Structure 1
Amino acid sequence: MRIAVLDNDRSQADLICQVLTGAGHSCLSFDNGKELLAHLRKESADLLIMDWQVNDLPAAEVLRRAKEKMAANAPTMFLAGSSAEDDIVAGVTAGADDYLIKPVRRGELVARVSAVLRRAYPSQNGSEQLQFGPYVFETRPGRLLMDGEVIDVTHKEFYLALLFFRNIGRPLSRAYIHESVWVRETAVPSRTMDTHVSRVRNKLQLRPENGFRLVPVYSYGYRLEKLGI
């Protein structure tokens, strides 16, 4: 899905895009309302996420004008501070479909965006099939195949493997992996993550001869590398 993110803090917008890109979406970030609206005149978006504190234009106006340029069923979400009750009321009144409280938590962001998109685009909720070399991920049944043969993986192993493949070549921090795979589990021992990573590496045979290598990044996390063979 194509997602547009508007936040006065460009680093925050870029972080949101990084998380959503890792979840399989196409994402563009903007730091002012005029820039966002100019983009929407040329290319629409399937979802808009916007800060309710916009510098250059009133947030309600940005939302109204953005909705005019998007499909009728395209949902909108807004970002509000933890104590900004007036912003929450104003955003909902202006027609936003959902909101997130800042600072945004990665796991919650992915879950809430997925829920909003499922409601807005029910016809697209079938199984998604993603292929990376010999590996095929079927997202709805959570099935993983290698060279046409089903690999026996647990639910978390499936989504951990998919997270790595969606971020090939990108170092993923332990915190990011935790928030993406163990969304609602606040205390996950370090050895639990390491065990799951080891199982993914072994079950998927992530070795150079198969074109991929899953390696630790010292004092940071892990990275899946695609090798030229």
Structure 2
Amino acid sequence: MNVLLIEPDNCRHDFISQIVPHSAVSIIHADSSHACIEISRQEEIDLIILDCRSSDTDWIGVVNEIRLTRMKRIPVLCLSAPHEEVDLRARMGGVIDDYILTPCSGLQFINSMNFWLGRKAESDFQKKIQVGNFSINLSEERVFLNGNEVHMPRKEYELLAFLFQNVGRIVSRQLMSMAVWGRPISDSSRTLDTHIYRLRKERGISSKNGLRLRSVYIHGYRLDEIGLNNSHS
């Protein structure tokens, strides 16, 4: 399935490509109205995500031309800051199907994307993930440790879900911040570190449960699944 991301720069494309866990979903970037129309002529498009910051572009005409080219009503999501939503709804009329208010967490973004792709039932993202003694049901947003449900604040859950989808990979502090809080993190902020500490000390993300969450100097963090007889946390 192809998602056409229309934005003037590449900042969101790189982020979205890393947080989207579907091997069957491709994110195609277009930096102009001309580029997105050309892409739509060459590729099957299942969803359009549109950044409407360029107010001098006739986005209604662009969307209608893409739909005419593909001969179907492709759903369109508009990225919008809260203070822009009312104006955009007035300008775009019935052309836009939904709005994603930014900044938003990676989990919120993927849930919106999944809904409009119609993949809620069969999506890999919705399946259960088993890591060490933990299992997480991403469709129900529930975490279990040795079969017992673990309750935690929303942001801790989103951070844990993101780490569980990236086991064995080094993930940067900035990517983690974007995925959970929807914005870059400052060098002086300890918010991420505090949440990491709680996952280790209060939620059982440690070697006794078959996991090691470690800091990788300069790069970020890495969660690994290890043998349960490993005594190092």
Compute the TM-score of the two structures, normalised by the length of structure 2.
Answer: 0.62
- In the TM superposition, residue 30 of structure 1 has moved relative to its aligned partner by 1.9
Residue in 2 aligned with 1:129?
127
Residue in 1 aligned with 2:150?
152
- In the TM superposition, residue 76 of structure 1 has moved relative to its aligned partner by 0.6
Residues 196-211 of structure 1 mapped to structure 2, 5 A cutoff: 196-202=195-201, 203-207=203-207, 210=210
CA-to-partner distance for each residue in 1:73-122, whole Å, 9 max, x for gaps? x531235799999x936861360123468xx5343x75366357547859
* Distance (whole Å) between structure 1 residues aligned to residue 41 and residue 170 of structure 2: 31
Residue in 1 aligned with 2:103?
105
Residues 8-157 of structure 1 mapped to structure 2, 5 A cutoff: 8-9=8-9, 11-18=10-17, 20-21=19-20, 26-31=25-30, 32-41=35-44, 44-45=45-46, 47-52=47-52, 53=54, 59-68=59-68, 69=70, 72=73, 75-79=75-79, 88=88, 92-93=92-93, 95-99=95-99, 105-107=103-105, 111=108, 114-115=111-112, 118=115, 121=118, 124=121, 128-134=126-132, 135-146=134-145, 149-150=147-148, 152-155=150-153, 156-157=155-156
Asked whether the 8 Å contact 1:3–1:25 carries over to 2, the reply is no
When the two structures are aligned, how many residues end up with a matched partner? 214
* Distance (whole Å) between structure 2 residues aligned to residue 113 and residue 70 of structure 1: 26
Structure 2 residue matching 1:196: 3-state secondary structure: helix
* Distance (whole Å) between structure 2 residues aligned to residue 24 and residue 181 of structure 1: 21
Asked whether the 8 Å contact 2:200–2:206 carries over to 1, the reply is yes
Asked whether the 8 Å contact 2:7–2:29 carries over to 1, the reply is yes
Compute the TM-score of the two structures, normalised by the length of structure 1.
Answer: 0.63
Asked whether the 8 Å contact 2:207–2:226 carries over to 1, the reply is no
* Distance (whole Å) between structure 2 residues aligned to residue 182 and residue 81 of structure 1: 15
Unaligned runs of 5+ in 1: none
Unaligned runs of 5+ in 2: 229-233
CA-to-partner distance for each residue in 1:149-194, whole Å, 9 max, x for gaps? 2252413433221111223314231x5434543569x99x955543
Structure 2 residue matching 1:3: 3-state secondary structure: strand
Asked whether the 8 Å contact 1:78–1:96 carries over to 2, the reply is yes
Give the residue type in structure 2 aligned to 1:37.
S
* Distance (whole Å) between structure 2 residues aligned to residue 143 and residue 100 of structure 1: 24
Asked whether the 8 Å contact 2:51–2:78 carries over to 1, the reply is yes
- In the TM superposition, residue 20 of structure 1 has moved relative to its aligned partner by 4.6
* Distance (whole Å) between structure 2 residues aligned to residue 182 and residue 23 of structure 1: 21
Give the residue type in structure 1 aligned to 2:13.
D
* Distance (whole Å) between structure 2 residues aligned to residue 191 and residue 142 of structure 1: 25
Asked whether the 8 Å contact 1:171–1:221 carries over to 2, the reply is yes
Asked whether the 8 Å contact 1:3–1:27 carries over to 2, the reply is yes
